[in-house]
Amino acid sequence: MCVGVVGVEWVSSEVGWDTPARKIAFFGFTLLALFWLAGLYRSRLSLSVLDDLPVMGGRWLSAAAISIIAQIVWAQAVWRNYIIDWRFLWGAVVAGVCAVLFRAAGYALVRRLRTQRLVAHRTLILGAGTVGNQIADILRAHPEYGLHPIGFLDADPRITESPSGLRVLGGPSSLAPVLTEARIRNIVVAFSSMKESEMVSVIRTCDRMKAELFVVPRLFELHHVDGDMDTAWGLPLVRLRRAAYRSPAWQVKRIIDVAVSGLALLLLLPLLAVLAVAVRLDGGPGILFRQQRIGVDGRPFDVLKFRSLRPVDDTESATNWNISHDDRLSPIGRFLRKTSLDELPQLYNILRGDMSLVGPRPERPHFVDQFRSAYPSYEARHRVPCGLTGWAQVHGLRGDTSIADRARFDNYYIQNWSLWLDVKIILRTASAVVRGAGS
């Protein structure tokens, strides 16, 4: 795209035109953004510029429309009139053609590198049955897909070798060590006999170890191949997208955490001082309360709160389940709990990187050990940093409420995270605090 813009500039200078380079540059950046949103820069097995043309053409029309509307708005604001700039339209056409040509050239280069095994991702196949062996044969016969099968995993311990000649390297429980030792980048699930719980474990292991996961759909002969599917020699493969928290946008979340928590600590300094004095006068020494909690990847850290009650002994705070009518709550403590102001010192935890503004609420080690055993999905909450507020909290799941429901809401947040979802949670939390309903 950039080459196309430069080319238009060069040609126009040769013929003496005053090229609207800024307009074309705006169009180019808009087109690139629309291509990215359409998923045209995701890695794929089957590469064909003809398959991409309908999407590219639609995004080209959208980028042209956006650019023309922007020019009209600018012209009305500055010159009070607008004249269609045919040089811009010509430049947009040239830029679009260049985008198609360079994509075709790029695909040809990648296919050549794959065919020569210079780009070949080591691939593990789960399920050594008929379909699994069919996939192995396809991938070995067609290296242009970029997947190099090195073996199978199968739940049947009697299978040690497959008809395709590849070895069976173990069962589903061997996935993590096999991924590490064999340097696996991709996994294909082919009608494996695994139980549903084992399949969930496989998906989470792949996500944790950043391995791409493909699944052959059941009744694949009847499946229509759409934009969410890949194909390998006519065989549909569903690529399971990584959880949203693995996306580059997650780094933006951390930048926002640092900026917001740092600014909030400065702006709220007077309020923090008033609350500290109130806690000191109400309960004596010990304004801040430190308690060990479990954070991302199961790592412990000390969470900070304004003290709202005092434990009877040194261990009770770590093992006693607090509820709203706890007799140890002082009047100030009850107010802090109701308004969630006791959580404000956790802004420092966020600034340090122990926590995030939004995420699953952290829990004490004693209860985490209990909940891990009782609720299979609970451990998955620790894939991301815990938060000051979260999706479960804004749905009223706090205090003495269902742990299974909390885990379900927290895992939904992790799988479907977006910056806008964080904004929604923060706005709903602010509304709850203003209404005195907690967060």
**pTM over 0.75, yes/no:** no
pLDDT (tens digit per residue) in 187-237: 999 876 677 777 778 888 888 888 899 998 876 555 455 556 788 988 889
How far apart CA 21 and CA 8 sit, in angstroms, is 8
Predicted confidence at residue 71, as pLDDT, reads: 83
Which domains occur in the chain, in start order?
A: 2-115 (no CATH), 121-242 (3.40.50.720), 249-435 (no CATH)
- Please write the tens of the pLDDT for every residue from 307-328: 877 655 545 455 565 555 566 6
Q: How does strand 300-306 pair with strand 288-294?
A: antiparallel
Neighbours of 194 (CB within 10 A): 19
**Contact predicate 339/439, CB 8 Å:** no
Flag whether pLDDT at 284 surpasses 80. no
Instruction: State the Cα–Cα distance between residues 423 and 165, nearest whole angstrom.
Output: 53
Q: Which of these ranges, 280-294, 348-362, 387-401, has the smallest mean pLDDT? A: 280-294
Q: Using pLDDT thresholds of 50, 70 and 90, give the confidence band for residue 337.
A: confident
Q: How far is the C-alpha of 398 from the C-alpha of 416, rounded, in Å? A: 21
Buried-state track 94-117, b at ≥16 Cβ within 10 A, e below 16:
bbbebbbeebbeebeebbeebeee
Residue with tokens 């493909």: 214
Averaged confidence pLDDT in the chain: 85
Q: Distance (Å, rounded) from C-alpha 248 to C-alpha 258? A: 17
